[in-house]
A and B are shown apart, each in its own frame.
Chain A
């Protein structure tokens, strides 16, 4: 079975400060990991993914995420937060050995960037 946890319902950060949104996962095989962002009244937008290779993945809008196999984590980061980054962020995982097409999403973390 595959699962993903986002331990924080909400993260507040001042504009210009670095931000981190946490994600941990559990799979029996090799993980494929994703981050998506959802703005109010919109669908989810793909930010970045990790499949294999370099543990630091760079994505859209200056976001990056670091894959840590020993800690089973895939935290989303950005060096300098913008007010426009305020949104709902979802981590997702797919177990390549599970025999299912299902991508499992976390509950989401609401990011608020304070001017």
Chain B
């Protein structure tokens, strides 16, 4: 039981589809994150939200669109993705934004682009 739940766990989509990844945290944290994990590469931070406000955006292509309607939920809307976007997408939360706080991760969504 991680406290951070991601759905779906697996997603296969075509390049022209639109889909959304969902993340929910039950820890009462104020910060949430999206990461991309590709094989043989370090984790790549995509977005950071603090109390529903985006505080960091790491030059992520516009085909990825985050949404944070409240401090417990985070979405990643996907459209017109490329094959190189196939990866494991991890959501995390922490008490507050900032690298001094341990982050709690969900189990990820494995995304495959056809």
Q: Are B105 and A96 in contact (CB under 8 A)?
A: no
Query: Roughly how many angstroms separate A106 CA and B6 CA in the complex, as a whole number?
Result: 23
> Does B56 make an interface contact (CB < 8 A)?
yes
Residues on the B chain within 8 Å of A93, using CB? 99
Q: Does B60 contact A (CB under 8 A)?
A: no
Binary per-residue interface labels of chain A (28-67) against chain B in the complex, 1 for a CB within 8 Å, 0 otherwise:
0000101010000111111001010000000000000000
* Per-residue contact bits, chain B 46-81, to A (CB 8 Å; 1 contact, 0 not): 001010000110100000000000000000000000
**Number of chain A residues whose Cβ lies closer than 8 Å to a Cβ of chain B:** 25
User: CB of A100 within 8 A of chain B?
Assistant: yes
- The distance in angstroms between the C-alpha atoms of A104 and B56, with both chains bound, is 14
A contact residues around B55 at 8 Å (CB): 101
Q: Contacting B102 at CB < 8 Å: which of A42, A46, A108?
A: A46
B43 and A90: CB pair below 8 A?
yes
Please give the number of chain B residues whose Cβ is less than 8 angstroms from any Cβ of chain A in the complex: 27
| Contact yes or no, A101 B41, CB < 8 A | no
B99 touches which one: A32, A36, A107 (CB < 8 A)? A32
Once the chains are docked, how many angstroms separate the CA of A64 from the CA of B97?
Answer: 25
- Does A102 reach chain B (CB closer than 8 Å)? yes
A selection of 11 A-B contacts at a CB cut-off of 8 Å is: A42-B107, A43-B2, A43-B106, A51-B100, A93-B99, A95-B99, A101-B97, A103-B103, A105-B42, A107-B42, A108-B42
Residues on B close to A: CB < 8 A?
2, 4, 6, 31, 40-43, 45, 48, 50, 55-56, 58, 90, 92, 97-100, 102-108
By Cβ-Cβ distance, the 5 closest A-B pairs, closest first, are: A94-B99, A43-B105, A105-B43, A46-B102, A103-B99
Give the interface of A toward B (CB within 8 A): 32, 34, 36, 41-46, 49, 51, 90, 93-96, 100-108
